[in-house]
Structure 1
Amino acid sequence: MRIGAHVDAGDPLAEAAARKAEVVQFFLADPKGWKAPEEHPDADGLRAAEVEVYVHAPYVINVATTNNRIRIPSRKLLLSHATAAARVGAKGLIVHGGHVGKGDDVAVGFDNWRKTFAFAAESGGFATPILIENTAGGDNACARRFDALARLWDAIGSYEVGFCLDTCHAHAGGEALLDVVDRVKAITGRIDLVHANNSRDAFDSGADRHDNLGQGMIDPELLVAVVRAAGAPVVVETPGGVDGQGKDIAFLRDRVTA
């Protein structure tokens, strides 16, 4: 099992070495902006590296929304990030499940996800596998509650789509971690990546605030159990830079592989 961290995009391989990470995840553009991704200066090195690479799509992407001024650019931006992620040898492009607006029917959001994959298929499909990530908040979210996730997979499961399980998001979103892996796999059939994060907030708070694994509101041993059961590569998106993330990686490596 490979364990790593979300790092700064400037020199991901150096960041990985500093943390003793076997996996790196990073952004290829401002996560809060609509700017198209740029060519990474070390694309060749990343493709050739033994470290596994994942790219996280910008937070602004919301292909589920009924708002045309957000949905249409989101589709195009997701496609361009998938192409850019392929150039750095990424094994997956992680994107949040998105949501519809207050008063909108969430079923429209599921269908908009289906249309997103159909839109990509018209140009040959996504160049990098899309990994949809469960989210922490929102009553109109497509991937917060697992009953909604099941409806989303009914709409898009026929496409080659993967899943990223975030432990903080599940906890804050009101989904118990004790049997979370079994319940996710019963819906999606797979877990391609785990974001192993503790939560600064209480169960079902709806708050997306990550904490280091030995801190926060989730029993650290429960996080270990989730990681072990999932059997997928792991990324910590925790605070503290090299020191904080390095300790989280060592914590998981010592316990998961024991």
Structure 2
Amino acid sequence: MRIGAHVRDDDPVAAAAALGAEVVQLFVTDPQAWARPTPHPRAQQLRESDLTVVVHSAYVINVASLNNRIRIPSRKAVVQQAEAAAELGAVGLVVHGGHVRAGEDEADGIANWRKLFERQADAGGFAVPILVENTAGGDNAMARQVDVIARLWDAIGDHGAGFVLDTCHAWAGGEALVDVVERVRAVTGRIDLVHLNSSRDAFDSGRDRHANLADGTIDPQVLAAVCAAADAPVVLETPSAGVAEDLAFLRTALGS
């Protein structure tokens, strides 16, 4: 099992080496803006490294939205950021499931996800696989509860979508972690990546606030068990001051 972390650093290869990480996740643009990605200064190093590289898309993206001013730039941003990810040799682009607004039909949001894949298929597909991540809050979210993820997968599963299981998001979204891997796999058939995070908040809080493994409200042994069951690459998105300790705990817990 390959284990690593999200880094916000101009030199992700060096940052990964300092942590002893085998996986590195990064942004290719400002996560809070619509800016088009620019060439990464360490692209060649990343491609030539032994790292498993993952790119996380910008947070502003909401493919499910029924608002044209959000959905249309979201589709464009996914395509652009997938292309930038391919330049780094990344294994995929992580995209949050998104949501529709109160009073809008969840089915329309799911249909918008399907249209994203259908439209891009006509253009030759995405440059890297799109990995949909479960989210923590919102009654109208596309990927908070497993039953909604099942409906989303009925629409996009045949289009090659991958799945990212975030433990903080599942916990905050009210999904018990003890068997979440089995329940997610039952509806998606896959887990391509684990975002391993504890939570600052209580179960089913709907709040997305990550904590280091020893400091959060989730039993660290339960988190390690999720990794073992998922048997997929692991990315820690915990506060940077404690990432090294989180990695050390996880390696010990998994015997790696």
Counterpart in the other structure of 2:245? 247
Q: What amino acid is the match of 2:250?
A: L
**2:33 is paired with a residue of what secondary structure?**
coil
User: Any conservation in 2 of the 1:9–1:27 contact (CA below 8 Å)?
Assistant: no
Aligned residues: 256
Taking the aligned partners of 1:254 and 1:234, their CA distance within structure 2 comes to 14
Summarize the Cα distance change of 1:217–1:23 in structure 2 as closer, same or farther, 3 Å threshold. Answer: same
Taking the aligned partners of 1:119 and 1:89, their CA distance within structure 2 comes to 24
Counterpart in the other structure of 1:123? 123
Cα-to-partner distance string for 1:125-158 (whole Å, 9 max, x where unaligned):
0101110000000000000011110000011111
**2:132 is paired with a residue of what secondary structure?**
strand
Taking the aligned partners of 2:3 and 2:247, their CA distance within structure 1 comes to 6
Taking the aligned partners of 2:240 and 2:48, their CA distance within structure 1 comes to 28
Counterpart in the other structure of 2:58? 58
Taking the aligned partners of 2:247 and 2:44, their CA distance within structure 1 comes to 26
Counterpart in the other structure of 1:15? 15
1:226 and 2:226 aligned: yes
Q: What amino acid is the match of 1:104?
A: E
Counterpart in the other structure of 2:34? 34
**2:218 is paired with a residue of what secondary structure?**
coil
Structure 1 gaps of 5+ residues are none
**1:95 is paired with a residue of what secondary structure?**
strand
**TM-superposed deviation, 1:41:** 1.0
Taking the aligned partners of 2:49 and 2:230, their CA distance within structure 1 comes to 24
Taking only aligned residues, the RMSD between alpha carbons, in angstroms, comes to: 0.8
> TM-score scaled by structure 1?
0.98
**1:10 is paired with a residue of what secondary structure?**
coil
**1:131 is paired with a residue of what secondary structure?**
strand
Taking the aligned partners of 2:227 and 2:74, their CA distance within structure 1 comes to 31
**2:164 is paired with a residue of what secondary structure?**
strand
Taking the aligned partners of 1:245 and 1:256, their CA distance within structure 2 comes to 16
Structure 2 gaps of 5+ residues are none
Q: What amino acid is the match of 2:76?
A: K
User: Any conservation in 2 of the 1:150–1:187 contact (CA below 8 Å)?
Assistant: yes
**2:249 is paired with a residue of what secondary structure?**
helix
Taking the aligned partners of 1:199 and 1:140, their CA distance within structure 2 comes to 22
Counterpart in the other structure of 2:142? 142
**TM-superposed deviation, 1:102:** 1.0
| Structure 1 consecutive aligned stretches of length 4 or more whose deviation exceeds 2 Å | none
Identity among equivalent pairs (%): 63
User: Any conservation in 2 of the 1:9–1:28 contact (CA below 8 Å)?
Assistant: no
Summarize the Cα distance change of 1:134–1:157 in structure 2 as closer, same or farther, 3 Å threshold. Answer: same
Taking the aligned partners of 1:44 and 1:9, their CA distance within structure 2 comes to 16
Taking the aligned partners of 2:7 and 2:54, their CA distance within structure 1 comes to 11
> TM-score scaled by structure 2?
0.99
Taking the aligned partners of 2:239 and 2:132, their CA distance within structure 1 comes to 23
**TM-superposed deviation, 1:256:** 0.9
Of residues 248, 253, 256, the one that matches 2:254 is 256
Counterpart in the other structure of 1:96? 96
Taking the aligned partners of 2:253 and 2:2, their CA distance within structure 1 comes to 13
Cα-to-partner distance string for 1:210-236 (whole Å, 9 max, x where unaligned):
000111110000000000000000000
**TM-superposed deviation, 1:240:** 3.0
Q: What amino acid is the match of 1:246?
A: A
